[in-house]
A and B are shown apart, each in its own frame.
Chain A
Amino acid sequence: MDMNQYLDIFVEESREHLQQLNASILELEKNNHDKAVLNEIFRVAHTLKGMAGTMGYTKMQTLTHDMEDVLEELRNDRIFADSNMVDVLFKCLDALETYVNNVTATGQEGEETFQEIIDSLANILKKTGKSEKNQEKAAEAKNAIDPGAHQGNSKLRVELDQYDINVLKKALDSKMNTFEIHVALDKGCLLKAARAFIIFQIFENNSDVIKSVPKVEDIEDEKFDFEFTVIVITKQPKEFFQKEINSVSEVADVVVNEITYEHLGEAPSASNTEGAAAEHNGADQSAHNHNAKDNQNGKKLQKSGKTVRVDIERLDVLMNLVSELIIVKNSLEDSSHSKESKINDSIEYLERITTSISDAVMKVRMVPVETVFNRFPRMIRDIARELDKGIELHMSGVETELDRTVIDEIGDPLIHILRNSADHGIESKEERIRAGKPDTGNIYLRAYQDGNNVVIEVEDDGHGIDIEKTRAKIIEKGLESADIVKTFSDKEIIEFLFKASFSTAEKVTDISGRGVGLDVVKTKIEALGGTVEVETAMGKGSRFIIRIPLTLAIIQALLVKIGDEKYAIPLSSIQEIDNVKPADIRLVRNQEVILLRNIVIPVVRLDKIMGVPGVLQDSEKKVLTAVIVKKGDKYSAFVVDSLIGQQEIVIKSLGKVLAGVKYIAGATILGDGNVALIVDVNSLAL
């Protein structure tokens, strides 16, 4: 049974279900009597069970099955969801996530059985008086198989799962003998594996081995004490095995237990579960015994492809535009043949269509931020419990959309900022009450569109950033001398927070305090072409504002000429363009500056920085063209030779070899086929 083709689908759908489960369990915690939520959780667990069963992931199946049992009790009001129960459910969720992660990486669910969680679930059930191992009638109409180690009669040493039970039942139905044979070797036996091998020969030659505890592989590796138990189907009578095995030297004891229908918990029947079970057991029946082999064959899943869920309507729009494109192309062909040149009209139309297509494709790549935000409530809840603070997360604007690549990158920075708010921002309950605030702190996570950007805000009503403490820390760390630091404005002090290895936390907690967070946040966001700002008020709280441009690949740019080379400056960074007389350039502290409407702006000589050959000296020019760029609220004047014009350009990566080149953010292909480099304003602006 080659399941690999279904792995991608399984992983993707599982993740969706787990997300749903996450949201539902959180809901449950808030209203633990909400039947709708309970049913939702039950439904999801059930679906996951089915999926796991189809793929042959028995451990996942067991876990979800046990979850179902507990949820069933909840549904029927036999137990109530208190905070401990919710914790257990969350642990189950984590365990399931681990399984899915294992599947994503290796194609197998992994070895962990999460026994403690299963025990916790069992304990919950015990409290309701429901028998722990309830043998559910396997005659379900659904595709799921119930594995959960169910056993009616505990006379057997070995636990049987449904596969085993079915196989044994079939055997009994066909009038074969089914035995559980327990073999104990002499304590002084030296070559245990060799003895076991001889005994297994006896089994193999006279019966079919259905199950072995410990596993065959372990026995071969001598990973057992002195005993092992085997379940076999055979035509031979009980005595045969007793005699044969006892005749092997160094065997201390042999116990042959006949397995009857009672052991299997059901009356002899040709139940139609066989059909359902057989459908999925298929070739797995005998493979069950050779679990070891399966694990070895576990093919390594290639990195499972990233996918995007796309609204069909958007694809329709795209299709239409593409067909329009073809029509225009045809009309252009016609035009070029006919004397009457309607080319200009066609070209204009072409331009409109290509712009629309690029917009449509952009939209296809857009994903609502919800996908990133939805794991935050759980995270905040966990942190709140861990720190014993009252914290509530309010999210808004979750339907705001961002490009898929941005979504992937924005998660980590946001997590860090949120953790900061929870750890440093929100005060402890006592502190808050003393400050006259409600004992539960609030963190607001907002996303909205603003012009060409998407803005994400993280605001808390904690005690804000302690500017003076930060000032002291800067001096203490020797990052700047005390005199200079005293002159820094609040804003400048805050900027220090974003520098590497800076942290004002007294101790390093698991959550924050290592001082490597905010600078990484800033770097990541800037790598996305965005900016991050902080507003804060002592005693009132702080607000982190992240701005990210909507479109990443296509931008408006100003094409300029420096020497013989063409460069592109992103329009979004440009404040204005000025003509500057060479004489107006002054020198302040060895830095060239100009005065623009009473603001001192540093001059950046792009020709020198880019090493462009053959650029004229100032003395040879009457006037210089300066492009005033804005970075945050600082300005710089980039000196270029001449302007070419404004153009929409497609950003092309420079590739891995040149990825780290300074001052260059990428490249673009011009209409004439030549390459123009895109200036990295952030690295050049002073």
Chain B
Amino acid sequence: MEVKKASAKNMRQYVVFRVESQEFGADIHKISIIEKMMNISRVPSTPAYIKGVVNLRGEIIPIMSLRLKFGLPEIDADDDTRMIIFKFNDVALGAIVDGVAEVVNLSDDDIENISAISNDRNYDYIMGIGKAEGRLITLLNIEKLINELVTKE
């Protein structure tokens, strides 16, 4: 059994969530709130993975489907489905995920950088792979995700 050295180098908290069977993580500071699925109002002329908008206590928030974004087929929402609302730099964006697990603490040591692996554009959204309790968590670069959507306009 590996004894992990308690390294205090840049401990950050990540919320772990599930899309299909893969686990992903996002910086907790960028997350505003996690909600159960709500009625989404469709918005025309948007990319397919933008499902529409929801009314969150008076605020209109665009919602995207991570499944569609990652090229997976859509499935019906179930009791585990959640919407993670990201808020970052005055921009709000919600993402539909298949389930939210927990919050983990990861330090820089626990994260593998994968920029060496591939130049594939899709990997741009991945900040690295985090290792926690034997699991591999793909850490998403939420900033990039959001910025890309905003500058498109």
- A residues with a Cβ closer than 8 A to B are 565, 609-612, 652-664, 667, 669, 673-677
Taken together as a complex, chains A and B put the C-alpha atoms of A660 and B43 apart, in Å, by 12
Distance in Å: Cβ of A607 to nearest Cβ of chain B = 10
Q: Tell me if A609 and B44 are in contact (CB < 8 A).
A: yes
B46 touches A674 (CB 8 A): no
Contact A656 B90 (CB under 8 A): yes
Establish whether residues B44 and A655, one from each chain, have CB atoms under 8 Å apart when the complex forms. Answer: no
29 sampled A-B residue pairs with Cβ under 8 A: A611-B45, A612-B42, A612-B44, A653-B60, A654-B43, A654-B53, A654-B62, A655-B60, A655-B62, A655-B91, A656-B90, A656-B91, A657-B50, A657-B62, A657-B93, A658-B46, A658-B50, A658-B153, A660-B152, A660-B153, A661-B153, A662-B45, A664-B43, A667-B60, A669-B58, A673-B39, A674-B55, A675-B41, A675-B55
Interface centre among B45, B58, B92 (most CB of A within 10 A): B45
B55 touches A655 (CB 8 A): no
Q: Is the interface of A mostly helix, strand, loop or mixed?
A: loop
Taking a contact as CB atoms under 8 Å apart, the answer to whether A667 and B41 are in contact is yes
The residues of A that contact B61 with a CB separation of less than 8 Å are 655
Contacts of A663 in B (CB 8 A): 44-45
Q: Is the CB of A656 within 8 A of B150?
A: yes
CB-defined contacts of B91 to chain A, threshold 8 Å:
655-657
A516 CB to nearest B CB, Å: 21
Q: Which residues of A contact B53 (CB under 8 A)?
A: 654, 658, 667, 675
Check if B92 sits within 8 Å of A655, measured CB to CB. yes
- Select one of B41, B62, B92, B93 contacting A565, CB under 8 A: B41
Q: Nearest residue in A to B90 (C-beta to C-beta)?
A: A656
B54 to A, closest residue via Cβ: A675
List 17 other contacts, CB 8 Å, given A664-B44, A675-B41, A675-B53: A565-B41, A610-B44, A611-B45, A654-B43, A654-B53, A655-B91, A655-B92, A657-B50, A657-B91, A660-B152, A664-B43, A669-B58, A673-B55, A674-B39, A674-B41, A677-B43, A677-B44
B146 in contact (CB, < 8 A): yes
- Residues of chain B within 8 A of A655, CB atoms compared: 60-62, 91-92
Name the residue on A nearest B58 (C-beta): A669
B150 in complex: contacting residue of A610, A657, A669, CB < 8 Å: A657
Let me know if B101 is at the binding interface, CB within 8 A.
Answer: no
> If the complex has contacts A675-B53, A675-B55, are A657 and B146 also in contact, measured as CB distance less than 8 A?
yes
Chain A CB within 8 A of B72 CB: no
A-B pairs, 10 with minimum CB distance: A660-B153, A675-B41, A610-B44, A662-B45, A657-B62, A656-B91, A652-B60, A669-B55, A657-B149, A667-B60
Contacts of B153 in A (CB 8 A): 656-661
B40 nearest in chain A by CB position: A675
Cα distance A678–B136 when bound, in Å? 44
With both beta carbons as reference points, the residue of chain B lying nearest to A658 in the complex is identified as B62
Interface hits, B28-87 → A, CB 8 Å: 39, 41-46, 50, 52-55, 58-62
**What separation, in Å, do the CA atoms of A657 and B147 have in the docked complex?**
9
**A203 nearest CB across to chain B (Å):** 47
Q: What chain A residues lie within 8 Å of B52 (beta carbons)?
A: 675
Interface size class of B (residues with CB under 8 A): 20 to 34
B66 to A: closest C-beta gap in Å: 15
User: How many Å lie between the Cα of A611 and that of B44 in the bound state?
Assistant: 6
Q: Which residues of A contact B58 (CB under 8 A)?
A: 652, 669
Q: Hey, which chain B residues are within 8 Å of A677, CB to CB?
A: 41, 43-44
In the complex, what residue of chain A is closest to B45 when comparing beta carbons?
A662
Q: Complex: how many Å from CA A675 to CA B52?
A: 10
Cα A673 to Cα B40 with chains together (Å): 11
In the complex formed, the residue of B with least CB distance to A670 is B55
B42 touches A658 (CB 8 A): no
Contacts of B90 in A (CB 8 A): 656
Alpha-carbon gap, A676 to B53, bound state (A): 10
Give complex CA distance A674, B42 in Å. 11
Check A654 against B149 for contact (C-beta < 8 Å): no
Closest to A610 in B: B44
Q: Which residues of A contact B59 (CB under 8 A)?
A: 652
A658 contacts which chain B residues (CB < 8 A)?
43, 46, 50, 53, 62, 153
- CB neighbours (8 Å) of A676 from chain B are 41
Please, how many angstroms separate the alpha-carbon atoms of A609 and B45 in the complex?
9
Q: Name the distance in Å between B108's Cβ and chain A's nearest Cβ.
A: 30
**What residues of B have a CB within 8 angstroms of the CB of A673 in the complex?**
39, 55
Tell me whether B41 and A661 are in contact (CB under 8 A).
no
Interface centre among A654, A655, A674 (most CB of B within 10 A): A655
Write out the residue numbers on chain B whose beta carbons fall within 8 Å of the beta carbon of A664.
43-45
> How far is the CB of B128 from the nearest CB of chain A, in Å?
25
Shortest C-beta distance, A224 to chain B (Å), equals: 46
Q: How far is the CB of B105 from chain A (nearest CB, A)?
A: 30
The B90-144 residues at the A interface (CB cut-off 8 A) are: 90-93
Most A CB contacts (10 A, CB to CB) among B42, B90, B150 go to B42
Q: Looking at the assembled complex, report how far the CB atom of A382 sits from the nearest CB atom of chain B, in whole angstroms.
A: 38
User: Which residues of chain A are within 8 angstroms of B43 by Cβ–Cβ distance?
Assistant: 654, 658, 661, 664, 677
CB B82 to nearest CB in A, in angstroms, measures 19
Partner of A661, one of B39, B44, B55, B146: B44
Closest to B149 in A: A657
- CB nearest to A673 among chain B residues: B55
Note all chain B residues with C-beta closer than 8 A to A653.
Answer: 60
Complexed CA–CA distance, A652 and B57 (Å): 12
Give the distance to chain B from A574, nearest Cβ to Cβ, in Å.
20
Instruction: State the CA gap A661–B42 with chains docked (Å).
Output: 12
Q: Distance (Å) between the CB of B58 and the closest chain A CB?
A: 7
- B59's nearest neighbour on chain A, judged by CB, is A652
Q: Which A residues touch B54, using CB under 8 A?
A: 675
Give complex CA distance A610, B150 in Å.
Answer: 21
Bound Cα distance A496, B50 (Å): 37
- Kindly identify, within residues 4 to 49 of chain B, every residue whose CB is under 8 Å from any CB belonging to chain A: 39, 41-46
**Bound CA span A658–B150, Å:** 8
A437 to B93, CA, bound (A): 61
Q: Which A-chain residue is minimally distant from B92 (CB atoms)?
A: A655
In the assembled complex, how far is the CB of residue B149 from the closest CB belonging to chain A, in whole angstroms? 5
Give the shortest distance, in Å, between A38 (CB) and chain B (any CB): 48
Which residues of the partner chain B approach A612 to less than 8 Å between Cβ atoms? 42, 44
CA distance A667 to B55 in the complex (A): 10
- Minimum CB distance partner of B46 in chain A: A661
